[in-house]
Amino acid sequence: MNIIGIRRRLDELDAILMDLVALSAKSDAGADYFDEKFKEIAGEKKALKGKLREQERHQVILDNIACYS
């Protein structure tokens, strides 16, 4: 997944989180269900942010190599 793809997925997850917050406020479903979903999304976001940092570092290295070539 490239930088743009990661950022898009992070935006999607943010939107899903907002929808989930709104749904949890209106729903009679148990808090355990929503807690689990929040944890899943938070875990995916954390992993994606790590990948994003890695991709951005890689891009900086490539940019520096291109500048000095």
User: Residue ranges of the domains in the chain?
Assistant: 3-67
Whether the model clears a pTM of 0.75, i.e. scores above it, the answer is: yes
CA distance 27 to 2: 36
- Do 26 and 47 contact (CB within 8 A), yes or no? no
CA distance 44 to 41: 5
User: How do residues 12-50 score in pLDDT, each as one tens digit?
Assistant: 999 999 999 999 888 777 778 889 999 999 999 999 999
